Amino acid sequence: ICHSAIVINRAVSDDHLRAAPHTLYLYGDADPEFPQDYYRESYTWVQTHTGGRCQSVVIPGLAHTTSAESRAACAAYLRDQLGGD
């Protein structure tokens, strides 16, 4: 799970990233820490370099923090990945 973070080190190999588990890329559309373009570019980069194994969730009104909605999205993602109900 990548929550409110951008990709800085893009020197990681594609093979290494493709070996990683599916990724949830979650951020808020009201984050003053990073411009929305940074998030979109980072998501596109991760999506491309993981072979499409990245899901994006944008939380309306969320700043550079967590919220009940973002934590619920993380919990739902983990539940889905682990095959839970």
Residue pair 63/30 in contact (Cβ under 8 Å)? The answer is yes
pTM of the shown model: 0.79
Please give the single-letter amino acid code of residue 51.
G
Q: Is the pLDDT of residue 21 over 80?
A: no
Name the percent of the chain lying above pLDDT 70.
85
The pLDDT confidence band at residue 22, using thresholds 50, 70 and 90, is confident
Q: Is the pLDDT of residue 20 over 80?
A: no
Q: Is the pLDDT of residue 50 over 90?
A: no
> Higher pLDDT residue, 40 or 6?
40
CA distance linking residue 28 with residue 80, whole number of Å: 21
What are the Cα distances from residue 31, in Å, to 17, 71, 74? 26, 16, 18
